[in-house]
Amino acid sequence: MEKNNRVGYTMPYSFNLSLAMKLTTILLILSIFTVQANSYAQKTKVTLDMRQVEMHKVFEEIESLTDFKFLYDNTKIDAAKLVSIKANNKPVSEVLNNLFKGSSIYYLVRQKQIVLKTQKATLPAPIKEEGEVIVEEKLVQNIVSGTITDDKGQPLPGANVVEKGTTNGVTADFDGNFTITLTNESPILVISYVGFSTKEIPVSGSTSLNITLLEDAAGLDEVVVIGYGTQVRRDVTGSIASLNEDSFSAQANTNVDQMIQGKAAGVQVVQNSGEPGGGMSINIRGVGSINAGSSPLYVIDGLPINNSPAISETGNETAPTRSPRNPISFLNPEDIASIDILKDASATAIYGSRGANGVVMITTKKGNSKDLRIDYSTHIGFNQVHNRLDLLNAEQYTNGINSLIDLGAGSEAERVTGIQVNGTDWQDVVFRNQAILQKHNISFSWGNGNTSYLATLNNTKEEGLVKNTKFNRFSGRFNLNHKTDKVNFGINSTLSYIKDNFVPNGFDVNLRGGAINAAKLYDPTLSIRDTDGNYVTSEFFDIDNPEAILNGNHITGNRYRYLGSAFLEYFILPELSAKVNVGADVNNENKSVYKDRTTIIGNSLGGVASAYSATETNYLIEGTINYTKEIGNNDINGLLGITTQKFQNRFSSQDANNFTTDATLADNFGLADRTTLINNSSKSTNSLLSYLGRINYKLLDKYLLTVSYRIDGSSRFGEGNRFGYFPSASMGWLLDQEDFFSNDIVNTLKLRASWGKTGNQEIGNNSSISTFNSGNQTSYVLNDQFVTSLNPSRIANPDLKWETTEQVDIGIDFGLFNDRISGAVAWYNKNTTDMLLNLPVPTSSGFNSQLVNIGSMKNTGIEVGINTYNLTGKNFTWNSNLNFTTLSNEVSDLGGIPEILSGSFGAAANEVGIIRPGEPLRSFYGYDIVGVWQQGDDLSQITNNVNPGDFKFRDVDNNGTINGDDRVILGNSFPEFTWGFTNTFEYKNWNLNILFTGVEGLEMINGNLLEQYYPRSGVRVNRFAEPFLNRWTPQNPTNDQPSYLGLSQQGQGVNSKTVVDASYVKLQSVRLSYSLPKDLMKNTFKSAEIYITGLNLATFSDYQGFDPALNPNGSANFRIDWNGYPSATTMLLGFNIGF
């Protein structure tokens, strides 16, 4: 018997059938653990270089490098045979496949044991007693060969092939080939591989088989990223949506939010601006706050980042853009390996005070441990405005405006007297016909043994749809990972530089708000320039010539950002490790704005300049201890940690006007009038100190329990309320592992439930203390000296505390027909209490309101995600993914306050939203239109000044007067349901991926339409063609459109005509690709693919505007379309090459 480092045994030559049957039974029971064990064999890698040594020496070396032990019968296995093996960081399964290739030896992996057997097991001849006749059974010896591949034709080395009902089995070699000698008369082969659905195949006389395994759509062996660690999907009891490289590569992603959009249940991605690098909102399971923010926490390689822009962009006279920039636009999408979205409290409570709105875990790619691999990818294409506004042309405008004047609107001076040089389509002036975009990305991945490296370089250039807008990003990444028996450490770092060019695009009441606003309203009968080359302007309203806005506003931005993290993990014991993780996020932004004398304001003030600079830092230090132990039928994992994080923002600005020349733009403030120079600077900090713990427990591989607890201390709250406490608990039951569960249809079934509390601290710094402002409003002149004073700007509230969200989640994960159909269904209920609201206070205090904790709100819904393998063939496959989410939002309580009116935009719409218990948050509040007043209607009982052709509003209180008491709730911005539907078709080397998305049952204020009905500058603004051309006239007494004569009804601007249905169905993306066959790439490339992609190709909706999916207001729970930067339809041609 071998007695060295391995567990060996020598079996007696002869044994009886009863013993064989018992051993067979034991082996069959042990085979339950084969999938998990094989996963370890495939993931555990070794480096060997052994020449002409006895085979058992190879076994001993593998045992010393891994946790494996070899078991074999010395009488059957020639362990003294001389062999040679060379492997550089190869999986153990691959090493053994090569070692036993060509021999009769095969192996079975059970837990951490490798059992060696021979292909043919023969029973010893029975001893024949004298006079006894023995009838021997003749063993059937069918030899079957085959190849095992996935649905893409890639071989599955190490796949298990077992003859059903026996322990007779082999494993596939590196190319997925196998040969097995069968012993039964009607043999059935059981084919299994980690991460794939097991398949049973009757042999039926066949001697050659081509077997295709499908990925286990339920993903129970998939590893997902959770807070401060990873977990096998099978053991997850919370609600986590996971997206990986396969999902990302199905379409060409120009930004990170496209990687998520339409692919995860319960996650809504809303584009706020179509400009390159523009803002977007991600809402996970609704909105949980009124004033404390609704964006999720982003965690990149373990480092939580700050979502807020370093420089605030609020849409004032000189602001470059209205919507805050995309907080993760600095990331190169091709650097991302996976995105895991934590949705329920069990998953998010580990992040405590920042988990109420969900957590988006972004993990970047790692290098490989093999030879150098170089991948280059590129695409080039163009953007076009997805849907232009249907406005009046010059002739329609002339006839329409003059018709209004004929009917008494405006004045005779506003009559259109002619068209200059065929007029101008101002959308053609403002928008590019084709905006070019291109991307170049190269990555280097290499390693040696236990160390891997990844380095990437990326450049993305994108012209904006609006002329003179651009986005140019350069980024580089370096990741390193090193792993030994005792120590693991890694570095993840990226450096990016972004240069932006903007044009103004405001959201305020000033008509000079932006180029898009001007293109919409400007007189189409005018030419761009006069005969002297000067910009033509309209005398009827205070707005710049659209081209003057483009060329007379010089706005640039530069952003430098470094994001890096490093960790060191030391294994004190095999089951106990200590880890230190540090991170730094340094963001430096600069913006300059100059309005030259070709603009109205620049001309009146002699040039106007602003310069902004901000540096934002985010430093993290955390330490954790992790314990993992398997004790009998109990699996335990425990985590304890302490973490501290500090944020700081330094901001400075300069404003001046009356420059001696426009030539230097905003680069020389010394040329400005010194009396107009205003300098400003600020510094703000906040920090977190946190303690956390989590226990994962599994019993009998079927009963699951997770408990977590986090204590957060935040400097943003008063001393008495700085610490918040956030517990969670969840349970799971793997019913498919129960002995009583036997079902030919349902092969995977897990029930799960969770409860927990999370918080929201996004209220800004110093909100609990009194603050003071300085500036011109509080300054004065004393003895000819300018004196700056301070005035209080906020009432202190030392009792200010966390918003708390309590969430319950119940779900089921399932797999049907051997996981041909799989998915998950979940119901959730989120209840937020202690909401932060500005409560009115007596005016004698000198203030209007005070921030207090009051009120509650809830979100409930159902999430469904289904994956299907519709068709699977040798050359053709069709897979689908459908996700579907319902959402119901309701304000439960406002602390006794009956309602709060809020929200405004433009000059014609104030108090457009209402917060009222029992209704969705910020429901639209306005007037219900019941028709149009007609000639002959009795107007004597109406006290308002109305005329035939005016909108007829519902008189709610029947008092004959239309006023604020007649307002009703007109809708809200919470969709009844959202969905995404992806189909992937593969035929040989061709791949076609199609994604549809849809939103149903939400409303939005169409501010652009409101501007048409109630213009702010008389009759000479341009209009939407369809409603205006079908307007009410005495000859066309329609009951649908007004006469456009009643300009006095601006108080009723928000009504059932301007609050519109924004439901839509989108063809979000189509990608067609072709991969070069391997036989064509010999000695050239490792991989090569060419593709064409279309994004945002079609929208099916009744909405009048650029895009119903666009939300320029920036708040996902209060959608207002007003002067938004339009979305783009994108066409790309690209290729990927691997060397």
- Asked, for residue 172, whether it belongs to a domain, the answer is yes
Give residues with Cβ within 8 angstroms of 125, minimum separation 6.
none
Residue (of 400, 385, 386, 387) closest to 1022 by Cα position: 400
The domain that holds 116 is classified in CATH as: 2.60.40.1120
User: Which amino acid is present at 218?
Assistant: A
Beta strands in 700-820 (DSSP E): 703-714, 723-734, 746-760, 771-774, 780-782, 785-787, 790-794, 803-816
- Asked, for residue 113, whether it belongs to a domain, the answer is yes
- The overall longest dimension of the chain from CA atoms, in Å, is 137
- Asked, for residue 779, whether it belongs to a domain, the answer is no
The whole-angstrom separation of Cα 639 and Cα 262 is 34
The pTM (predicted TM-score) of the whole model is 0.81
- Asked, for residue 157, whether it belongs to a domain, the answer is yes
The whole-angstrom separation of Cα 556 and Cα 591 is 6
Contact of 192 with 212, CB cutoff 8 Å:
no
Inter-CA distances, 1124 with 306, 387, 1121, Å: 25, 12, 6
- The continuous run of DSSP H or E covering 571 comes out as strand 553-573
Give residues with Cβ within 8 angstroms of 936, minimum separation 6.
none
pLDDT confidence of residue 1051: 64
Render pLDDT for 708-767 as a digit per residue (tens, 0 to 9): 999 999 998 877 888 999 999 999 999 999 989 888 899 999 999 999 999 988 877 777
Sign (positive or negative) of CA dihedral 288, 292, 293, 295: negative
How many CB atoms are located within 10 Å of the residue 205 CB? 9
Render pLDDT for 322-372 as a digit per residue (tens, 0 to 9): 556 778 889 999 999 999 999 999 999 999 999 999 999 999 999 987 789
- Which portions of the chain are predicted below pLDDT 50? 1-39, 120-140, 217-220, 314-321, 509-511, 1050
The whole-angstrom separation of Cα 706 and Cα 347 is 10
Dihedral-angle region of residue 846 (phi above 0 means left; psi in -120 to 50 means alpha; beta otherwise): left
- Asked, for residue 490, whether it belongs to a domain, the answer is no
- Asked, for residue 76, whether it belongs to a domain, the answer is yes
- The continuous run of DSSP H or E covering 364 comes out as strand 359-364
Residue (of 531, 530, 507, 505) closest to 516 by Cα position: 505
- Asked, for residue 294, whether it belongs to a domain, the answer is no
Contact of 1064 with 1100, CB cutoff 8 Å:
yes
Helices then strands, each counted (H, E), the chain:
13, 59
The whole-angstrom separation of Cα 889 and Cα 506 is 30
Render pLDDT for 500-545 as a digit per residue (tens, 0 to 9): 998 887 655 444 568 998 999 999 999 999 999 999 999 887 888 9
Chain mean position to CA 679: 39
Q: What is the mean pLDDT of the chain?
A: 86
The whole-angstrom separation of Cα 749 and Cα 224 is 19
pLDDT confidence of residue 324: 65
- Written in H, E and C, the secondary structure of 792-837 is EEECCCCCCCCEEEEEEEEEEEEEECCCCEEEEEEEEEEEEECCEE
Inter-CA distances, 662 with 504, 598, 606, Å: 18, 10, 9
Contact of 856 with 760, CB cutoff 8 Å:
no
**What does DSSP assign to residue 1025?**
H
Contact of 1129 with 383, CB cutoff 8 Å:
yes
In the block, residue with structure tokens 């959201």? 507
Tell me the β-bridge partners of 558. Answer: 499, 590
**What does DSSP assign to residue 426?**
H
In total, how many domains does the chain have?
Answer: 1
Tell me the β-bridge partners of 685. Answer: 648
pLDDT confidence of residue 643: 98
Residue 1077 burial by Cβ neighbours in a 10 Å radius (0-12, 13-18, 19+):
exposed
Please count the residues of the chain.
1139
pLDDT confidence of residue 220: 45
DSSP code per residue over 459-521: EEEEE-SBTT-EEEEEEEEEEEEEE-SSEEEEEEEEEEEEEEEE--B--SS-GGGBHHHHHHH
Residue (of 55, 105, 74) closest to 8 by Cα position: 74
The whole-angstrom separation of Cα 621 and Cα 625 is 14
- The continuous run of DSSP H or E covering 697 comes out as strand 678-699
Sign (positive or negative) of CA dihedral 223, 226, 231, 233: negative
- Asked, for residue 103, whether it belongs to a domain, the answer is yes
- Structural domain including 38 reads 17-121+137-213
**In 146-207, alpha helices (H):** none
pLDDT confidence of residue 853: 87
User: Which amino acid is present at 59?
Assistant: F
Inter-CA distances, 439 with 378, 436, 473, Å: 5, 11, 9
How many CB atoms are located within 10 Å of the residue 424 CB? 24
